[in-house]
Amino acid sequence: MGDFPQINQCDPRAGVLRDRPEIEAAISAVLESGEYILGRSVRAFESAFARFIGVPYAVGVANGTDAIHLALRALGIVPGDEVITVSHTAVATVAAIEMAGATPVLVDIDPDTYTIDPARVEGAISPRTRAIVPVHLYGQPADLRALQAMAHRYGIAIVEDCAQAHGALYRGRRVGAYGAAGCFSFYPTKNLGGIGDGGMVVTGRAEVYERLLQLRQYGWKERFVSVSKGMNSRLDELQAAILLVRLAKLDEDTERRITIAEAYDRLLQSASVITPTVAQETRPVYHLYVIRHPQRDALRRWLQDHRIGTGVHYPVPIHLQQAYRSTRRGPLPVTERTADEVLSLPLYPDLSMSLVEHVAQQIKAFDSLQDQRSTRPARSSLPTRNAYPARKH
């Protein structure tokens, strides 16, 4: 037992060090180019990323929060407009909607996929609703087909939050290519991460692309000519050069994530945890491997004591955060229950299979301990996947 190292929930450093020679060469090329803002690296990365997603246009911005904020503004969303999203997400999703001046309206999630529940969206649509922001949380695509039908019926836009889902497939196409805009983050721990902040908006619409180019740089149509009110939210030239190197490895990294996730699925079959549900016609990219357990906090402590790091994404839903208590919302029972039970296991492309097996072993050891102690119901009567029947999408 003693010969296992400390295992972290994620390890952005491992990936960066693996690609170090190419990253250093890319940094050197920027240093020597003399182009330090919106130069050749940003242009090259934008066109490579647009090609990767399968859309005509991509605009590099400062971070993923700005990507959502600017996409909403580029689509003409203004103060007073309502934007529907989830409470079970990163605060950034909701912050971005408010930065655009819009009013977020939070709805509940699907209990199996943890993504926005289209049935709840319908009930939240009002005459002021202008957009829906589905979050492809943990790398699992949301139910885009149901959302698209609704968006079409009510004349509202879909802006995809793809910050955790670079390369995820929904009915054979990459997420980000479905909505009026797709928004990505390159925060270091994301599936495609820089060594600092970065973000991207992709779109198929020329007019949205033109608006985004202006918004990210003082409303400029050309240098020193502001035709609209913009801001400074540019993707850094150095980050773009680094991200271009890392984009070339993304498909391989994603395969590793999927292999690890499938190993967890298999190894945890007999454990008293609920493993992730994959919605039909999707290929998730496992930004996180998230299980559920009714004694989540005790399991987390047990794993910590065995030098296994885990995460909770997210422990407090947005509507229960001090700053967001007054956010408009429907009933959120699934969100609240989920926040109490989810646990993100170690997962990153360089995690070895023997460590994956070790993590699964320790989870089963926790199970046996619970069985032994107690007066409490035996493991077989604890909730399993069957307690939350899988819904077909």
**Closest residue to ligand PLP in the complex (CB):** 64
State which residue, 73 or 358, has the beta carbon closest to ligand PLP: 73
* C-alpha–C-alpha distance, residues 286 and 290, integer Å: 9
State which residue, 140 or 362, has the beta carbon closest to ligand PLP: 140
CB of 163 to ligand PLP, least distance (A): 3
CB of 197 to ligand PLP, least distance (A): 6
Q: How many CB atoms are located within 10 Å of the residue 338 CB?
A: 22
State which residue, 117 or 161, has the beta carbon closest to ligand PLP: 161
CB of 75 to ligand PLP, least distance (A): 17
CB of 38 to ligand PLP, least distance (A): 18
* Both tokens assigned to 65: 């929060």
- Which residue carries 């819904």 as its tokens? 391
- Which residue carries 């926005």 as its tokens? 116
State which residue, 235 or 303, has the beta carbon closest to ligand PLP: 235
- Strands 225-226, 157-161: pairing is unpaired
CB of 275 to ligand PLP, least distance (A): 21
State which residue, 143 or 197, has the beta carbon closest to ligand PLP: 197
221 close to 214: Cβ distance less than 8 angstroms: yes
* C-alpha–C-alpha distance, residues 332 and 39, integer Å: 45
State which residue, 163 or 243, has the beta carbon closest to ligand PLP: 163
209 close to 59: Cβ distance less than 8 angstroms: yes
Residues engaged in binding ligand PLP (CB under 6 A):
63-65, 89-90, 92-93, 135, 161, 163-164, 185, 187, 197, 199
159 close to 75: Cβ distance less than 8 angstroms: yes
Q: Using omega within 30 degrees of 0 as the cis cutoff, is the peptide bond preceding 388 cis?
A: no
State which residue, 96 or 268, has the beta carbon closest to ligand PLP: 96
The contacts of residue 142 (CB under 8 Å, 6+ apart) are 113, 115, 116, 134, 135, 136, 160
State which residue, 186 or 302, has the beta carbon closest to ligand PLP: 186
State which residue, 61 or 273, has the beta carbon closest to ligand PLP: 61
Concatenate the DSSP letters of all residues of 333-347 into one string. HHHHHHHHHEEEEP-
* C-alpha–C-alpha distance, residues 93 and 107, integer Å: 13
CB of 287 to ligand PLP, least distance (A): 8
What is the identity of the amino acid at 149?
A
* Both tokens assigned to 328: 């408009």
CB of 266 to ligand PLP, least distance (A): 27
Classify residue 126 by its DSSP letter: -
* C-alpha–C-alpha distance, residues 71 and 298, integer Å: 41
57 close to 177: Cβ distance less than 8 angstroms: no
Give whole-number Cα distances, 70 to 65, 179, 200, in Å. 9, 14, 10
State which residue, 164 or 217, has the beta carbon closest to ligand PLP: 164
CB of 66 to ligand PLP, least distance (A): 7
Give whole-number Cα distances, 196 to 63, 107, 189, 202, 228, in Å. 9, 32, 10, 20, 29
CB of 187 to ligand PLP, least distance (A): 4
CB of 199 to ligand PLP, least distance (A): 5
